[in-house]
Chains A and B, each alone.
Chain A
Amino acid sequence: MASPTSDLGWHEPSLLEKIRSISWPLVLLIFVAASLGVAILYSAANGSMQPWATTQALRFAIALIPMLGAALIGIRHWFRAAYWTYAIALGLVIAVDLRGFVGMGARRWVDLGVLQLQPSELMNVAVVLAAARYFHSLSNEDVKRIRFLIPPAIMVLFPAALVLKQPDLGTAIMLLLTGVVLFFIAGIRLRMFLLMALAAAAALPAGWHFLRDYQKNRIYTFLDPENDPLGAGYHILQSKIALGSGGLFGKGFLLGTQSHLSFLPEKQTDFIFTTLAEEFGFVGGFALLSLYALIIGYGFVIALRCRSQFGRLLGLGIVTNFSLYVFINTAMVMGLIPVVGVPLPLISYGGTAILAVVFGFGLLLNVGVHRDVRLNRRGESQPS
């Protein structure tokens, strides 16, 4: 591998230059969102830092280190590490299947001794990295050929199937949708999408058999939630009551009745948006959505300004993955889609989720820092 200095007049920017070129406004937005998350967790625990808020703040603070690390490492290193990262994440997912223990009725966690990891969350980032590298190396012509689409398709479908088996329908859907978006922005032909859509439609009945009973129930419930208000429809009904009773300005911080009286399920994780919207109303919920929109918009700008396909795909892939978290979670708690356990990024309580999301932002920042680095097909840096 050639050393950076051997490149034609281009030199690796110094660490200070890199730190200066980090998109600090984006970091600030992320920080605001995470702080808001800690505040809601404080409220969800009936006005107490225990058991969630302190831990979450600490986790976010710790996650900032790998984020900055990820941002500052040379992008070509990420290019080279892409498949390795993917392989490690895949290994962890398989490890969950082998020796994971049952949490919430589903095998999703792997206990690494010091922390419990939910590898399916990391898988999201790994898939983006791997696919970005793969499509970067493909020529414009090869992208249009179907046989070159088979490896990335497996790259996405294999972990998705493993995750679905855990069973974690939400993350599996996330992986699939992220993959679809990556294919789209990588520039594959639109008629391929048509083909993929047909294939997906054909696979639906088979996929239905793959679902566990509770997942099928959630879909039935979604179709008619108020039919069974104390059974499976309870969660979504209570969630809608919490949102609706929040009204325009909400009930006030720490005054949400639905969350504090335990009517809300999973108020600190998947349904945390409801806690926020109950206490801060439409105004609060809209503000959070706007904050997310700003972060997503920032991500788009960073990705579009990047000069390497790898960087663009990586950046937009990360942003898309993030926005899918937001959309699926909020649509779920608003009763727009069935309940599929997907956390609200930066807000929901959960170690791996915040680590994966913040680490993903580290990669996005990396793309911004290295926007002018050109990479050749083999991932070698070239001067701009």
Chain B
Amino acid sequence: MRPEAQRQKLFTRRAAVLAGAQAGVLAALAARMYQLQIVESDRYVVLADENRINLRLLAPLRGRIFDRFGVVLADSRQNYQLVIIAEQAGDVAATLDALGILIEVSESDRRRALRDIRRKHAFVPVLVRANLSWDEMARVEVATPELPGVSIEPGVTRHYPFGEMASHVIGYVAAVSDQELTGDPLLELPDFRIGKAGVEKSQDAELRGTAGTSQVEVNAFGRVVRELARVAGKPGRDVVTSIDMSMQEFATRRCSAEQSLASVLLDAVTGDVLALVSIPNFDPVPFSAGLTSGMWQDLSNDPRKPLSNKVIAGAYPPGSAFKPVVAAAALSAGVLTPETSITCPGYLSLGDATFHCWRHGGHGTLRLRDAIKKSCDVFFYETARRVGIDRLAAMARRFGFGDVLGVDIPGERPGLIPSREWRLATSGTAWSQGETVIAGIGQGSVLATPLQLATMVARLVTGRAVSPRLVRADGLMPPGGDLAPPVFPSLGISPHVLALVIDGMSAVVNEQGGTAYGARITEPDFAMGGKSGTSQVRHISEYERDHGVRKARQIPWKERDHALFVAFAPVGTPRYVCATVVEHGGTSGGGGSAVAAPICRDILLEAQRRDPVRRVPEGYAVAHLAAPARSQPGG
């Protein structure tokens, strides 16, 4: 069969070609496999691991904040939140309806949950409500069989047992803002909170701790399949503040009647801030969850500035409370002795300008002690004129004015002590003597914070450069008091000078005719000394001078004077120092003694009652005037 043989031959030939082609394809496939699996394998191994391994951060537990005795001021609490997993719930809207019968689910909670469900994978738990009460949790738990996809999960929230009582010291935590991102992935965790104010902010690095990590294997949809490795994080360290919470509570209650106030109680020896009150205060809790815009508007539009810590961030003209500094400068410079007499006719003329004393008719002739006691303006105009601005400013700086004190919370303002250089730099004009004179009564350009005023008194009564502190690096206070309190360097001011000033301040309170006699402490062991101040907010017009200053009630609140008082106690060996500024609380003529002095009195009295020992270490008590040349009481 010839054609058949021919056909078979052709077939065989073509089949051979085909076989060759197929062998070629197989070889090419094998070569490609070799390329992918042997040559480029390393690269693909990395890609495969990047696909499947996900590093997740475990947020560390934030450290606690204590008061000096270990009372908890801030801690992290487990709370219970209700979450819903869409893929298990099926009909999410119906499930939310059913939940709404059991517990309160607000319209905004509902909207947010539905929105999150749309945005996220169906297996991601979405928050419905946080901070469930025990009762609500129980009701949901009982009903879970009928609520597929609903579960209760633990979360952590910052808890402040005293609420707004110490909000200006502790501050608050809130979600990380874009500007605060440092590249640390911990900050990018959705639930992470950082300190935004107060100790929470300044000690954030301590409190934060270090993140743990969890290596998880995820599938292509991001669902966690299993955990491969876990490195536990380190919880944040606890921070001890100098605050005595019982004093803080007392002081806050005592001040709460005022509209806008700053008051601070210092331990003059250690510099510990025992109580710090800034009214109004705020509730730190809502910040953690995120303020609503309405809440934020209310807080930021309030003219009384609830978010501002006025003790460190309120800069006020100190008024007459500045006079102890002027006195110390003059005595140290030798331009004044306790015996120097100056006559006050009610005003001081300097060139074209006339400077008035607060007392219209003048105080007559008086010496330093009475000048402090009666807060004679003319005496201190003249004293300041004799000292000169350079020596006055130098002394003020020594007492802690004009710069931040470095207390352990953010937001401190430096205040202002004017000088020739400052005048030239700000307005380009030369310093005038009138400015020196007006600085002599703490007015003009002089600005001080309540904390600076308290520090001034602490330095005055100890003779040392006491620095206030809010964080106790040495931890809780031991039962018998601090074993090794911080040692501050001497101010380098003669104890005699300081004693003279202290004596004058004692007279202010404890002698008839003293501006704060009405606020004296009658228990002799607890007696305080102090100095009142009234700082003008507005200029007193000629008209008012001629027709008499209006009564405080007639002036709009915002234009009323600030009332100040600085005080120390007990008189003999001062241990506690208090400075109080009542914003717009002063009467125009009477100084801070009427409003601010009673607050200082009550706080100091309470502090001494709680601390019957009142030990003052050796070298911290300025020698009391042994035989003071007292002038006549009263006058």
Contacts and interface: CB of A to CB of B under 8 A. Distances in A.
B557 interface: no
B55 to A, nearest CB: 16
A241 B22 contact: no
Contacts, number: 131
Report the 4 A-B pairs with minimum CB-CB distance, sorted nearest first: A244-B44, A245-B48, A261-B219, A282-B37
B144 interface: no
A286 B15 contact: no
A258 B51 contact: yes
Interface of A: 139-140, 181, 184-185, 187, 238, 240-248, 257-258, 261-263, 277, 281-282, 285-286, 289, 292-293, 296, 300, 303-304, 307, 309, 312-313, 316, 320, 323, 327, 330-331, 334, 336
A257 B52 contact: yes
B154 to A, nearest CB: 28
B47 A244 contact: yes
Contact of B37 (A248, A300, A327): A248
A282 B221 contact: no
Contact of A277 (B14, B33, B48): B33
Contacts of A181: 18
Interface of B: 3-4, 6-8, 10-12, 14-15, 17-19, 22-23, 25-26, 28-30, 32-34, 36-38, 40-41, 43-45, 47-49, 51-52, 217-221, 225
14 contacts: A140-B10, A185-B11, A243-B44, A244-B43, A245-B48, A246-B41, A261-B51, A281-B37, A282-B37, A286-B30, A296-B22, A312-B15, A316-B15, A327-B29
Contact of A244 (B14, B22, B41): B41
A206 B537 CA distance: 89
Contact of B6 (A140, A296, A331): A140
B31 to A, nearest CB: 10
Contacts of B33: 243, 277, 282, 285-286, 289, 334
Given A304-B15, A312-B11, A334-B36, A240 B220 contact: no
Given A243-B36, A247-B41, A309-B11, A261 B18 contact: no
Contacts of B4: 309
Nearest to A257: B52
Given A245-B44, A286-B33, A289-B30, A262 B219 contact: yes
B387 to A, nearest CB: 77
A358 B23 CA distance: 23
Contacts of A140: 3, 6-7, 10
Contacts of B26: 289, 292-293, 327
A184 B44 contact: no
Contacts of A262: 219-221
A248 B38 contact: yes
A384 to B, nearest CB: 11
Contacts of B3: 139-140
Contact of B44 (A241, A300, A304, A320): A241
Contacts of A313: 11
B462 to A, nearest CB: 69
Nearest to A263: B220
Contacts of A282: 33-34, 37-38
A262 B8 CA distance: 51
A272 to B, nearest CB: 15
A152 to B, nearest CB: 16
Given A140-B6, A312-B11, A320 B18 contact: yes
Given A245-B47, A248-B37, A261-B225, A289 B29 contact: yes
A240 B41 CA distance: 10
A327 B40 CA distance: 22
Given A261-B218, A289-B26, 4 more contacts: A187-B7, A241-B47, A242-B48, A245-B41
A66 B22 CA distance: 28
Contacts of A244: 36-37, 40-41, 43-45, 47-48
Contacts of A336: 28-29, 32
Contact of A263 (B10, B34, B36, B52): B52
A304 B40 CA distance: 40
Contacts of A139: 3
Nearest to A247: B41
A185 B44 CA distance: 41
A262 to B, nearest CB: 4
Contacts of B219: 261-263
A304 B51 contact: no
